Amino acid sequence: MSVALITGASQGIGACIARRLAKDGFDVAINHYPSEGDKEKAEAVAEECRALGVKAEIFAADVSKMEDCEAMVKAVKETMGSIEALVNNAGITKDKLLARMAEEDYDAVIAVNQKSIFNMLKQTCPVMMKQKYGRIVNVSSVAGLYGNPGQINYSASKAAIIGMTKTIAKEYGKKNIVCNAVAPGLIRTPMTDVLSDEVKAKMLEAVAMKRYGEPEEIASVVSFLVSEDCSYVTGQVIEISGGLSM
């Protein structure tokens, strides 16, 4: 059975990806931030995955910390046997216009959204190389493609992910490891629930389909990108935004 490791999978898009990959037949390793609340939510996601007939285990790790990622990847290998697919999904926002943004908020978002990708790739690529097989998906954002007022930290981290994705595609292509990114638009999750109605309405004006995306609509694209069928697509960024940028 193939194993998929999904970061930040206790809620939102990550939880939805875990459920979808379990439905696709993957055993799933569900990463959650090391807190009691996240552990409880991750365990509920794992239970839903097990009900689909696959193995599902939860792994606590703050993905912004290299030592946590190292311990987690080791534990996943020991418990689940291999890692065929990695979905780097964990992310945070700390939005403010440049004039008001504190340096700590810039650094925190870069650490969780960007450095975590380096940490997870550093630990997981050697495993995939030994297997001579790997599928990696990094969750970027339309903010990384086009920028967004109030998100200089978030946009920087999500743009960096695109460069990292293309670099890994080039470094590991000959090892039969493909690496792609998805760039979601406005998706209905706890991350966007906190936006004001006014901000949401303004954002929707630019969306051709005039509606939010659902986490399932991200998961279905990821489902292809981690499948065996995704054998000659690498270094690509798939925008999933209901037509934001045409």
Q: Where along the sequence are the contacts to ligand NAP (CB under 6 A)?
A: 7-8, 10-14, 31, 33, 35, 38, 62-64, 89-92, 112, 139, 141, 184, 186-187, 189-192
Nearer to ligand NAP, 82 or 192 (CB): 192
Nearer to ligand NAP, 13 or 136 (CB): 13
User: Least CB distance from residue 65 to ligand NAP, whole Å?
Assistant: 8
Q: Which one of the listed residues 106, 154, 172, 232 is annotated catalytic?
A: 154
User: Least CB distance from residue 99 to ligand NAP, whole Å?
Assistant: 23
Nearer to ligand NAP, 53 or 190 (CB): 190
Dihedral pair phi/psi, residue 102, rounded to 5°: -80, 150
User: Least CB distance from residue 167 to ligand NAP, whole Å?
Assistant: 19
Task: Answer for the pair 31, 61: CB distance below 8 angstroms, yes or no.
Answer: yes
**SS3 state of residue 125:** helix
The C-alpha atoms of residue 164 and residue 117 are separated, in whole angstroms, by 8
Go through 22-47 and write b for each residue having 16 or more CB atoms within 10 A of its CB, e for each that does not: bebebbbbbbbbeeeebeebbeebbe
User: Least CB distance from residue 32 to ligand NAP, whole Å?
Assistant: 6
Residue 106 a catalytic site member? no
Nearest to 83 by CA among 92, 74, 91: 74
Active-site residue numbers?
Answer: 154
